[in-house]
Structure 1
Amino acid sequence: MNVRRNTAYALTLVWLSVGGWNCDSSSRDDDDEHDFAESRIDSAADGEWPAYGRDPGGARHSPLTQITRRNVSRLKQAWTLRTGDLSDGSQHPSKSTFQSTPLYVFNTIYVSTGYNRVFALNPENGEVRWTFDPKLNLDTKYFIGLTSRGVAAWADPEAVEGSPCQKRIFLATLDARLLSIDAENGTLCTDFGQGGTVNLAEGISNITPGHYGVTSLPSIVNGVVVVGSLVADDSRVDVPSGMVRAYDVRTGERRWAWDPIPRNASDPGYDAWSPEDAARTQAANVWSVIAVDAERDLVFLPTSAPAPDYYGGLRKGANPHANSMVALRASTGKFVWAFQTSHHDIWDYDIAAPPALTTIRRHGRSVDAVAVATKQAHVFFLDRETGKPIFPVEERPVPPSDIPGEEAWPTQPFPVATPNLVGDTQVTVADAWGLTPRDYAFCVKAIAGLRSEGVFTPPSKRGSIHFPSAFGGTNWGGVAVDENRGVLVTAINRFPQVVRLLPHDEPYTPFPGEEIGEQPGTPYRMGRRLLTGPDMGLPCTKPPWGKLVAVDLKTGGIRWESPLGRMPGLESIPGSERWGSRTMGGPIVTDGGLVFVGASSDDAVRAFDSSTGRELWRAPLPAGGQATPMTYRSPSGKQFVLIAAGGSIFLDRPPGDYLVAFALP
């Protein structure tokens, strides 16, 4: 191993063990940014992307500066890999997506596919070094589709350099397995669990095949690997537990387990539940990415809704610690604090976005914070030590439920400094929009007949408008944080959704495109659909329908916002480039002054000026870029931007199996 690689490896070990380095959080003006981008000297480790969010805290910030605002327009496609892991639902019952964010560590690119296969690639040209196949059963119907968002990497500081499994890749699968893989050759590390595998289904009841597993990567901190789970929480009452577990990173022995639902009188939050509800309620699982603060021995868990999502009559109360950002001791699993972003969730407003750790200047001092972006388009900044909001948060009255048996919580938390990122959340007839006269007339009539009282309008029998929808706001794409320029950037959806509750003992007629969830064990089935016109399938509300938003880290206010993407089929309509599109995926930021993001419905990847939000570059992709990109510097010194192009079953984009790299000529 050469000196440069030794240095990068050593720096990476330090980074992974202490949680990264904080930069000064002061912002710079445009001239300072040019000086910063062109004058700083990169270290070897700066070129790596060793974790899903680059650092264990998930900031998605790269210090690389070869690609800048001045030259980004020259970016060209450098190489492409096709994985072959592609399903359109005709051969296998589930469609595939390719949502993975690759890692660059140990001088190798590592990426997982929707089939849960892992590829190790040459960073210069994408050539395959090895593949690992966990033999996922493709004949199972996975309710979320064939999905994986990435893998985790770890190097054992106590093992001899170059020894078997001294460097490891960890993969969590759709069929609930946790695997440890030798990063050098792609073979299982047989000292972990049973022959390299831990069975995550062990100890979990009520599992239906395809309805319990893992789509996100595990997180590694202080000798343990922490993993959540994916639960079909909108299907029924008796779903599996949302238990979060930690395993010894070397042996796979379970070190601790934590249930988001308090089960015992000694559990924090138990006094807010009735014993019967606490015993019956499940889910509230952590399906998104877990952030790590190794120095504080903390993991930050974004929990989801208790089951079922849209009716809470069997789980009365605020339902802590569901729909919360929860901090646990990484070494023991001991509860430290929780902040709930929606009380008694009946909107499917789970925290889908990974938390992002940052440092904020407030009242003359630096505060280490965790940023929490939500589906309801709120952004909260919480003190990492205590969970207390750094910017003011108010409990405001919200509409009551008119469903018999439902007791909606009377207030919800609203950030004061940061406005709702979609804008006004109450949709009225005055907001109706349609590209054709028939679309417009349909939308006027539809809005007039629905319940619409802003964010947190409860589901109703006649139908309620949820704006933002359960798809966000911000979904799993999350945020990127540029402390040098003082901004947090996120992709936002502005699509309205209609949710109605249908009594099981009454007949009903589904609307076109309506998804029906039976919710057995409750008095009501659920119906939800996007509120769109009949001719063009466009939202009944005014554009932009998707945008990129930058939040100021000093004030909490909005620094800038820009439309993101273009809806397919509108290319010939003047002005439609400013209307945005539905998005799925997140941004990254670089010290070149850039935000890179795919996510949009028009099969493209873009670069924006991180100071102004101006779009500077756009390149077509061979399939939808519904993934979060990454950037790295290869051993030859070239900076690449890499994104998976795999389409999305949620955006109605055809599946793809492409990994596409861009670089300067």
Structure 2
Amino acid sequence: MKNQLIHLIILSLLSVAVCAQPVQKQPANSVEWPAYGNDAGGMRFSPLTQINPGNVKQLTVAWTFRTGELEHYKGTSAEEKAAFEATPIMVDGTLFFSTPTSRVFAVDAATGQKKWDYNPDVYLRQDLSELTSRGVSVWPAPNDKQVTGGTSKRIFVATIDGRLIALDALTGKPIATFGKAGSVDLRAGVGNISVTSPPAIIGNTVVVGSSMGDNQRFNYDRGVVRAYDAVTGALRWSWDPIPRLKGEAGFETWKGPNANQTGAANAWSIISADAERDLVFIPTTSPSPDYYGGERLGKNLYASSIVAIRASTGKVVWSFQTVHHDLWDYDNASQPLLFPFTLNGKTVPAVAAGTKMGFVFILNRETGVPLLLVEERPVPKSTIPGEEAFPTQPFPTMLPALGLQKVEAWGMTPADKAIAQKRIDGLLYQGIYTPPSLQGSLMTPGNVGGIHWGGMCYDPTSGLLITNVNRMAAVIRLLEREKLAESVKNDQDLLRAETGMQSGTPYVLKRSYMFTRDERGIQMQTPPPWGTLAAINLKKGTLEWEVPLGYMMDINKYPEAKQWGSLNFGGAIATAGGLVFVAASLDGHLRAFKTQDGSLQWEVPLPASGQATPMTYQVNGQQYVVIAAGGHGKLGTKLGDYLVGYRLP
């Protein structure tokens, strides 16, 4: 073991010496966007002020770049689930981003002209639960004082077929000395995992999670988080969110003879990094399967948690569980947001965790202790034989809850409302945390939020925490496996509902949502707005404003639909110019809202739908706003292959 360690150290030093080369100079008058959330902690805030409420209406298309992605899908069924959700990064005057099939492009930030592209040749006919990639990462991370050795920039992409690839930032060629010919196999010894989010970069370490379709069986693949040497590709540490052996921390919170076979609890969203404190912040998910926990009774640490891990060692520093014994698919889907929080006149390093439940938890970044009061409250019991819902759940008490927190029927006409009411009356509903049932349970907020993977942004100049929100209820029903055929035989609603086999358990999942779709468009069966943009004033602990975001119907026929909002996927960004930019809605527009009051300042139709988070930067003295417009196959929005840059004339 000692000789192996010495060998790795020598190899690391040699690799640094070989790859070291001068850093490309940053263009004059340039302000970058060097990570998915701009900073490694995901505040998604830019100090740029050139574009502001006084001139934002003058924004025009500066350039449009096309990736050719739709041509890449030909001969496959990729269009059915492909989603262009990437947020580009900008360093050294170049934009770097990935497509749904993990192809990587480098584009001139001023002109939109291609510099290079790289195709990892993902085989699209394999079983892939998701077909998306939210972006790439650059090493060394800017201003990271923990970096030692080489200075040549690398672009890291983690692919949907489970590879971690290092590319030369100048040429797009794989780094031959990283892993095996530039690549590390993330599936080796783990299983059929994908990666849909950019890796976290901290010092000389690259940290990756994984994505998996975890409703199909109980003993799904392990949701390990792993760290690799950024220079050599050597594995530095691996952490499994589910304790497997007696004596491991949290082991006693997994009860039952098969509990240690549980899968998932993976981190598919964005991992945040704090290089100064040598910490990464892992947002973990529900264990498999999402909606039945009879094989994994107990609190289930460290699933559905925010976990701080020492980046240099892989050791857990602290954890905070947002959902105990998750039965609702309440994954921590958004990036933990690191920001300075003012408490009693003192600035404290904090983590904000925005959740699908619509709750926002504010935690001490160094200890995990809530900075704003959280209390455990009783929640409904399960009626499913073999299941034991945890008796309490954590509720933040000093910030407003976002999203659909209670249910009432709604319809465009009295007949529509009556249909909605009849559907609600046939379901079990006991408020938030109503557990799944054989009858069928109404879940509010639903598993798409509240706050979804688009996450939050923070404007330090105003103290506002801003996020887009979904307001759609889910319907969850468990069917006895032995009676499955009989249950669905004469029930068209059940036949149409999404199915999760949940193999290894006595129950099959059926999931649907409280909406209808007809010639009028999509209408929720609960009151609008169905999608919003909201701002929480952290100084006051109040909702500063909340406005409808987008629409889902023809506004020429139904002008009131502008006030009803849209289901949305993708996040918002804030700027010191006093604007919040967001797309995300199903109507295919990019919009700018005034940070101060949420008033709409500008909107423009995109060439394809924008289920992605925008970004902004300055190059050659000019500020640009850029968004990926490629649509979402599962949502049925208009597909495309566009990256669009806007600037003032």
Residue of structure 2 equivalent to 1:347? 328
Paired residue for 2:544? 559
Does the CA-based 8 Å contact 1:262-1:278 persist in structure 2?
Answer: no
Within a 5 Å distance, the mapping from 1:400-411 to structure 2 comes to 400-411=381-392
Residues 260 and 321 of structure 1 are in contact (CA less than 8 Å); yes or no, is this contact kept in structure 2?
yes
Name the structure 1 match of 2:457: 480
8 Å contact from structure 1 (residues 639, 663) kept in 2: yes
Match of 1:496 among 453, 467, 473: 473
> Which residues of 2 match residues 175-574 of structure 1 at below 5 A?
175-205=161-191, 207=192, 212-274=193-255, 276-422=257-403, 425-427=405-407, 431-506=408-483, 507-509=486-488, 510-511=492-493, 513-533=496-516, 535=518, 536=520, 537-574=522-559
Residue 586 of structure 2: aligned partner: 601
Cα pair distance change 1:328/1:44, threshold 3 Å: farther
Stretches of structure 2 lacking an aligned partner (at least 5 in a row)? 1-22, 142-146
SS at match of 1:585: coil
Paired residue for 1:99? Answer: 85
Q: Which secondary structure does the structure 1 equivalent of 2:585 belong to?
A: coil
Structure 1 CA distance, aligned partners of 2:60 and 2:363? 40
User: Contact (CA 8 Å) 2:457, 2:574: kept in 1 or not?
Assistant: yes
2:16 is aligned to: none
Q: SS of 1:367's equivalent?
A: strand
- Contact 2:129 2:212 (8 Å CA) reproduced: no
CA offset at residue 233 of structure 1?
A: 1.2
Partner Cα distance (1:320, 1:556) in 2: 29
Q: Which residue of 1 aligns with 2:8?
A: none
1:409 Cα shift? 0.6
TM-score after normalising by structure 2: 0.92
Secondary structure of the residue aligned to 1:445 is: helix
TM-score by length of 1: 0.89
C-alpha distance in 2, partners of 1:331/1:225?
A: 11
* Cα deviation, residue 143, structure 1: 1.8
Does the residue aligned with 2:64 lie in a helix, a strand or coil?
A: strand
Aligned AA for 1:508? S
Q: Which residue of 2 aligns with 1:59?
A: 43
Q: 1:587 to 1:526 in 2, by over 3 A?
A: same
The one-letter code matched in structure 1 to 2:487 is: Y
Distance change in 2, residues 1:369/1:7 (3 Å): farther
Whether contact under 8 Å (1:97, 1:656) holds in the other structure is: no
CA contact (8 A) 1:440 1:533 kept: no
- Once the two structures are TM-superposed, the CA of residue 534 in structure 1 deviates from its matched residue by 5.8
- Alignment partners' CA distance in 1, 2:556 and 2:373: 42
**Percentage of matched positions with identical amino acids:** 48
User: Does 2:636 align with 1:652?
Assistant: yes
Q: 2:134 aligns with which of 116, 133, 149?
A: 149
Contact kept in structure 1, 2:237 and 2:314, CA below 8 Å: yes
- Deviation sequence 1:269-293 (CA, Å, 0-9, x none): 1222237344211110000000001
Amino acid at match of 1:494: R
1:364 deviates by: 2.1
Q: Distance in 1 between matches of 2:633 and 2:452?
A: 15
Matched, 1:630 2:611: no
CA contact (8 A) 2:480 2:506 kept: yes
The CA deviation at 1:398 is 0.8
1:376, 1:473 within 8 Å by CA — same for their partners in 2? yes
| Post-superposition CA distance 1:388-410 (Å, at most 9, x none) | 11111111111111111110011
Q: Note the C-alpha offset of 1:650.
A: 3.9
**Deviation readout 1:350-376 (Å, 9 max, x if unpaired):** 100011101111112111101100011
Distance 2:572 2:532 in 1: 12
Which residue type is aligned with residue 417 of structure 2?
A: Y
Q: Cα RMSD (Å) of the superposition?
A: 1.8
SS in 2 for 1:442: helix
- Contact 2:570/2:612 (CA < 8 Å) preserved in 1? yes
What is the distance in 2 between the residues matched to 1:141 and 1:571? 41
In the other structure, the counterpart of 1:33 is none
Structure 1 CA distance for aligned equivalents of residues 162 and 25 of structure 2: 36
Write the distance in 1 (CA, Å) between the matches of 2:291 and 2:150. Answer: 53
CA deviation profile, 1:598-644 (whole Å, cap 9, x unmatched): 0111000100111111111001011111000000112x211110000
